[in-house]
Amino acid sequence: MRYFFRVEYDGSQYGGWQRQPNALSIQEQIEKAFTIALRVPVEVTGAGRTDAGVHARAQGAHVDVPEPLQVARCELSVNALLPPDISIYNLVAVEDSFHARFSALSRRYKYYFCSRKSPLHFKRVWMLYYHIDWNKIEQNLGALTGKHDFSAFCASGCGTDNMICDVKHASLQFENEFIVFTIEADRFIYKMVRTIVGTLIDIGRGKSSASLSDIIRGEDRAKAGATAPPFGLVLDNVFYSGVN
C-alpha cells in the first residue's frame, strides 16, 4: 500500500533531502524512522530534492508498506523517532498510481530576507547589510512568469537537458523588517531559485545593470548573479490534485 505525507524540516544540519554517502540527509532520517516504527525496511520518495541547508514547510513524500497502517499511531511513532528538526504530518493512504514527484502539479518556494542583523533568525533568513532598491526588483519580477528557458539560472551538475519551466507566480511581500520572495512553478532546475534570488539582489543593489528579461533571453549562466545562500530558502508547498 502507498501512503502520502508531508514533511517539515530545518535543513541546517543536513546535506539536503536526498540520501547520500558522505552526509546525513532528510530522506535517510525518515526512512530510518519508518523502518524502526514498522519493523520492515522502507524507501521514501520525495517530491523533489532540496540542497544542503534548505528548509521545507510542506515537502511531499510517499512510502510503500506491505500492510495497512494505523495512520495516527504510525505518524506519532515516526515523529517520536525523528530528530527534533524533522517531522511528518498529514499521513494518508493514496492510490498506487500516485507519485510524490510525478503527480505534483506545481511547487512553491519562499526566500526570506532581513534588512538588519537578527540573531533569532540566524540560518533562517539572508541578512542584507547594504541598500537594496526593492522597487527595482519588483519591476523585474514580471519577466519570470510564463514558460521560459531558465538556462541562465542553472548550476553545473544539473543532470537534465530540459531547462524549460513554467513559472505561475512571482512576488515580494514586506513584513516589517522581513522581505519574502515567493515563486511557484511546475518544476525547478538545479539551484534555479537561489540563482534567481542572487541575480535579483545584484539588480536591486546596482551591481548588475542587466534586466532580468535580458538575462533570461540570453540563456547564459555567466550573465546571472551569484547563487544566494541556502538558509533563506524554504520549500513552502507542493501542490497535488486530491491530497492536501
Share of the chain above pLDDT 90, in %: 88
Closest CA to 244 of 101, 68, 94: 94
Q: Return the pLDDT at 63.
A: 98
Whether residue 156 has pLDDT greater than 80? no
CA 87: distance to chain centroid? 16
Tally the domains of the chain. Answer: 2
Given 69, 94, 119, the domain boundary residue is 94
Same domain for 112 and 81: no
Given 50, 66, 94, the domain boundary residue is 94
- As annotated, the active-site residues are 51
- The predicted-structure confidence for 130-153, as pLDDT tens digits, reads as follows 899 999 999 999 999 999 999 999
Given 94, 123, 152, the domain boundary residue is 94
Same domain for 186 and 159: yes
- Range of the structural domain that residue 69 is part of: 2-94
Q: Return the pLDDT at 216.
A: 96
Same domain for 221 and 126: yes
Query: b or e along 204-243 (b: 16 or more beta carbons within 10 Å of the residue's beta carbon)?
Result: bbeebeeebeebbeeeeeeebbebbbbbbbbbbbbbbeeb
Q: Is the Cβ–Cβ distance between 164 and 187 less than 8 Å? A: no
d(CA 88, CA 168): 27
Closest CA to 87 of 145, 131, 29, 134: 29
DSSP character string of 137-173: HHHHGGGTSEEEE-GGG--TT---S--EEEEEEEEEE
d(CA 240, CA 27): 20
Same domain for 233 and 125: yes
Closest CA to 177 of 121, 236, 229, 109: 121
- The predicted-structure confidence for 71-95, as pLDDT tens digits, reads as follows 999 999 999 999 999 999 999 999 9
Single pTM value for the model: 0.95
Q: Is the Cβ–Cβ distance between 197 and 170 less than 8 Å? A: no
Residue 171 located in a structural domain: yes
Residue 101 located in a structural domain: no
